[in-house]
């Protein structure tokens, strides 16, 4: 079969077995320029213009005043006193059912400590009892608790 006119003067691999034939080379294909220089400049200008566009909303303004605290549900006048009066029994029952050797319980309401009491022992080897001032390690709860207390103190202006 005769070679295609585009391949005239070149040999093809696997042809007639002529070892002295010239190697097959690829010619670069010309890619037409669609935009040209003016189009490229316009594309860059459009992209840069879009980068500098202003937002349609102003930046938020933060108040220096903390938001008003609103109770989720108003408590009846005697609700806190009724709950506090049941704490001794609840603490003893919890210690019996869970095997906790000791705990300290405190109730603070309206910025006042209404109840603070220790139950059980702080060390089962020595039998040293827990009181209202006993400090316990809270393990992984200590950081979120400390952050909450700190945030509250910042909110009320104490820090």
pLDDT band at 22, cuts 50/70/90?
low
Which is higher by pLDDT, 134 or 26?
134
Please count the residues of the chain: 159
Total-model pTM: 0.43
Contacts 24+ apart (CB under 8 A), 115-122: 115/84, 115/87, 117/87, 117/88, 117/91, 119/91, 119/92, 119/95, 120/95
Q: pLDDT at position 140, please? A: 73
Give, as one character, the DSSP assignment of residue 67. Answer: P
Q: How much is the average pLDDT of 102-111?
A: 90
- Report the pLDDT averaged over residues 98-114: 91
Q: Which two tokens stand for residue 100?
A: 């906790």
User: Using CA of residue 25, residue 26, residue 27, residue 28, what is the dihedral sign?
Assistant: negative
Nearest alpha-carbon partner for 117 in 99, 95, 138: 95
- For 139-146, which contacts have Cβ atoms below 8 Å and span 24 or more sequence positions? none
Q: Give the pLDDT mean for 105-118.
A: 91
Per-residue DSSP letters for 18-49?
A: -TTSPPP-PPPPPPPPSSHHHHHHHHHHHHHH
Place of tokens 């670069």: 28
């Amino acid at each position: 079969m005769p070679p295609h006119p585009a391949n005239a003067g070149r040999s093809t691999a696997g042809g007639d077995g002529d070892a002295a034939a010239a190697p097959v080379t690829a010619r670069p294909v010309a890619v037409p320029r669609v935009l040209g220089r003016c189009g490229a400049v316009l594309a860059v200008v459009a992209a840069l213009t879009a980068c500098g566009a202003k937002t349609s909303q102003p930046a938020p303004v933060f108040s220096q005043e903390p938001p008003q605290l609103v109770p989720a549900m108003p408590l009846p006048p005697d609700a806190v006193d009724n709950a506090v009066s049941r704490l001794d029994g609840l603490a003893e029952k919890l210690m019996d059912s869970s095997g906790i050797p000791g705990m300290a319980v405190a109730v603070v309401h309206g910025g006042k400590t209404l109840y603070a009491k220790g139950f059980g022992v702080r060390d089962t080897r020595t039998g040293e009892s827990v009181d209202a001032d006993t400090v316990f390690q809270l393990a992984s709860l200590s950081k979120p608790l400390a952050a909450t207390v700190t945030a509250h103190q910042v909110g009320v202006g104490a820090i």
